[in-house]
């Protein structure tokens, strides 16, 4: 048994991973957070049997102080779940990596990845914020820590919104189920790997049981082209979707159209509609250019295959859509 800390463990993906770790029942699980909730439910340690408060407060301002804290709590493994789309979050992850290297107790580290290969060139992955993930990768490579990158591909939750209960902030990607509209990137024939967020969390927690980590772990449950995805959504909606194909060039220039549902949803994003438009364009271009086609990955290990006899199968996109839209067409 070991002690695990989830940095950002009160956030969307972080909360799911924290819950999955606790449910396994083998680890003393902590959350590293800038804030402490008004009410913190105690957990029972499977190591000592005693109850403990799972929240560790840190503002990531001091590498030395954070290293001291990690040693104090005897943290062995760290999973970082920051939303790495701004400089401060990137700086915090770098501080956490350096503090982990300094702390004598920390041996393993999973950086905030949970998407695709961020080292892909712009010709395949035209996503500006990948620079923050690359900074973390290069920092980890300087350490003696064992680390791995976890690739779920696209979160399939997005394609069942708004009918799906999920921790993710609502956003339409490619398909607007509410208005029966789709803006398909390229010719729609590029493959897209995807995983349900709860399965990403479950397999991330299970990965801690591996004696050694390969550099890349995948959690992919389903792989479809965007054309196949549109057809599957149409089947579950019981209605045709109005499809418009957008060229890669259009997407790369951010001259893409905005799905109707995303217009009111943009109010929940810091930079509003322009941020949502750019995000949809970058994701669309990356799909069309093959960034989400995991058939091209080399030396990646599937966690789904690794634990197929030890846990229930992951949610498929077919089953998720059926559950989300059954009786709600």
pLDDT tens readout for residues 171-186: 999 999 999 999 999 9
Say which range, 100-104, 105-109, 267-271, 307-311, has the weakest mean pLDDT: 267-271
pTM value > 0.75: yes
> Are 6 and 81 spatial neighbours (Cβ–Cβ below 8 Å)?
yes
Per-residue pLDDT reduced to its tens digit, 204-235: 999 999 999 999 999 999 999 999 999 999 99
pLDDT score of 298? 87
Task: Name the average pLDDT for the chain.
Answer: 95
pLDDT score of 12? 86
Instruction: Tell me what the mean pLDDT of segment 135-140 comes to.
Output: 98
At residue 200, does pLDDT exceed 60? yes
At residue 329, does pLDDT exceed 60? no
Instruction: Tell me what the mean pLDDT of segment 7-30 comes to.
Output: 94
> Are 32 and 82 spatial neighbours (Cβ–Cβ below 8 Å)?
no
At residue 39, does pLDDT exceed 90? no
pLDDT bucket at 1, cuts 50 / 70 / 90? low
Which CATH number is 156-191+223-294+315-325 given? 3.90.25
Domain limits, the chain = 3-147, 156-191+223-294+315-325
CA-angle at 235, arms to 230 and 236, nearest 5°: 100
Strands 181-185 and 175-176: antiparallel
Per-residue pLDDT reduced to its tens digit, 268-311: 888 999 999 999 999 999 999 999 999 989 889 999 999 999 99
Close Cβ partners of 253 (under 8 Å, ≥ 6 residues apart) = none
Pick the CATH number of 3-147 from 3.30.1280.10, 3.40.50.720, 3.40.30.10, 3.40.50.620: 3.40.50.720
CA–CA distance, 208 with 110 (Å, rounded to integer): 10
């Amino acid at each position: 048994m070991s002690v695990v800390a989830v940095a950002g463990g009160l956030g969307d993906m972080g909360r799911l991973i924290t819950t999955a770790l606790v449910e396994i029942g083998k680890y003393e699980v902590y959350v590293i957070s800038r804030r402490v909730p008004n009410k913190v439910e105690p957990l029972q340690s499977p190591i000592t049997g005693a109850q403990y408060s799972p929240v560790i407060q840190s503002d990531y301002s001091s590498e030395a102080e954070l290293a001291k804290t990690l040693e104090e709590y005897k943290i062995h493994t760290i999973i970082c779940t920051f939303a790495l789309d701004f400089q401060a979050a990137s700086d915090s992850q770098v501080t956490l990596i350096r503090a982990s290297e300094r702390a004598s107790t920390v041996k393993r580290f999973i950086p905030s990845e949970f998407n695709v290969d961020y080292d892909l060139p712009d010709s395949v992955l035209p996503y500006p914020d990948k620079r923050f993930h690359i900074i973390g990768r290069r920092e980890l490579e300087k350490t003696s820590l064992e680390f791995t990158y976890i690739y779920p591909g696209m979160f399939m939750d997005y394609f069942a919104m708004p009918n799906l209960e999920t921790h993710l902030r609502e956003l339409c990607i490619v398909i607007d189920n509410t208005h029966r509209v789709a803006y398909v990137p390229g010719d729609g024939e590029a493959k897209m790997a995807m995983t349900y967020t709860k399965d990403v969390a479950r397999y991330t927690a299970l990965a801690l049981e591996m004696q050694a980590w390969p550099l890349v772990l995948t959690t992919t449950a389903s792989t479809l082209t965007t054309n196949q995805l549109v057809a599957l959504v149409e089947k579950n909606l019981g209605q045709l979707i109005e499809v418009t194909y957008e060229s890669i060039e259009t997407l790369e220039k951010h001259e893409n159209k905005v799905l109707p549902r995303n217009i009111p949803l943009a109010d929940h994003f810091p930079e509003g509609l322009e941020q949502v438009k750019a995000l949809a364009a970058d994701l669309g271009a990356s799909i069309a250019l093959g960034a989400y086609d995991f058939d091209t990955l080399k030396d990646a290990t599937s966690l789904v295959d690794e634990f197929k006899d030890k846990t229930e199968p992951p949610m498929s996109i077919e089953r998720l859509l059926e559950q989300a839209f059954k009786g709600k067409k």
